[in-house]
Amino acid sequence: MAAGEQGVSLTGAQPLAGDGSDRQFFRLPGSPTKVLLWHPYAPGREVNENDSYFHIGRHLREKGAPVPEIYHYCREEGWMLLEDLGDVSLDGVLKTQTADTQIRFWYRQALEILVQMQIRGLEGFDTAWCFDTPVVDGPFLKERECLYFVLAFLQGYLGLKMAAIELEADFDRLIQGAVATHGLYFLHRDFQSRNLMVKNGRLRLVDFQGARLGPLAYDLAALLIDPYVGLAPQRQEEFLDYYLQELKKRMAVDEAAFRQQYYYLALSRNLQILGAYGFLTKVKKKAYFARYIPAAVASLKGRLAEKPGEFPELEKVAAGL
């Protein structure tokens, strides 16, 4: 890594804990400190993951979203110099601040950020910036969420001899409800507590490189069913109400249709979470993700119980977990 050629010294750099990806982060000394993101073999072809981070990050900052400033991007060597947002995530804060007033303060702030980002982020968003797919649609949900659950969690993590075809009817029913047409908006796709950092009492957003277009309710579900925090169902409902209040300030909303689609998207996201934890634990050997699997399983069972009989095969699988 020849970052020094661009005037960036790695002397005294402090490695930072990463996430589920293969990217590496280093805190560089100075006043203020900066963070070096290094990912020399980023996935993607003409547009790689680093490109997406750079272009989408610049776009979101221009639209007022609280993302880190990007000071420099060296595409050839796969590194970026970023604003340092610190080490404290929303997940970390909520482990120490358990009062109702504090929980509401942080979640309302997160939801206000989300609504603004979803609507303003759509303005001028170019899907050519996406290194992966440009939109969350039916085929995406089938492959990346439903089949991922079967392959990475049921088969890969649990070792069950179950074929995806056994759940196909349930998956088709889920996807039909999840992609009900209410328009496409800016979608972060991993809007959860560990991607919201706390700096100077305000939330800041990271890990937006996988953004694309998609339904409004997906990011909301990602935040509210997040197993890292494990919000109780009544709290999830409270914050869903607050989100809808904020959304209605900006656009007309068919609340009944929104809530119906939210259910299916939350169920789909729940499957994705279990697939991801299974993959990260078993394949990536990041064993600490396994501790969140029980909460995600409980969430799945609770969600299926809301519509008993609609997903009979999935219910049978969940009952045996």
Tens digits of per-residue pLDDT, 7-41? 566 777 888 876 767 899 999 999 999 999 999 99
Residues 104-135 pLDDT 10s: 999 999 999 999 999 999 999 999 999 999 99
pLDDT band of residue 2 (cuts 50, 70, 90) is very low
Q: What is the pLDDT of residue 182?
A: 76
pLDDT value at 250 more than 70: yes
Omega of the bond leading into 32 within 30 degrees of 0 (cis): yes
* Separation of CA 243 from chain center: 17
Q: What is the rounded distance in angstroms from the CA atom of residue 40 to the CA atom of residue 37? A: 10
Q: Which pLDDT belongs to residue 98?
A: 87
Largest CA distance in the chain: 62
Q: What is the mean pLDDT of residues 292-319?
A: 97
**pTM metric for this prediction:** 0.94
The answer to whether 164 touches 59, Cβ cutoff 8 Å, is no
pLDDT, residue 1, reads 45
| Domain boundaries of the chain, sorted by first residue | 3-83, 90-319
Quote the CATH superfamily of domain 3-83. Answer: Phosphorylase Kinase; domain 1 (3.30.200.20)
Tokens 């519509």, residue located:
307
Q: Is the pLDDT of residue 176 over 70?
A: yes
Report how far residue 249's alpha carbon sits from residue 115's, in angstroms, rounded to the nearest whole number: 10
What CATH architecture is 90-319?
Alpha-Beta Complex (3.90)
State the average pLDDT for the chain.
Answer: 94
Mean pLDDT of 91-104: 94
Q: How confident is the model at residue 5 (pLDDT cuts 50, 70, 90)?
A: very low
* pLDDT exceeds cutoff 70 at 51: yes
Instruction: Give 254-304 pLDDT, tens digit per residue.
Output: 999 999 999 999 999 999 999 999 999 999 999 999 999 999 999 999 999
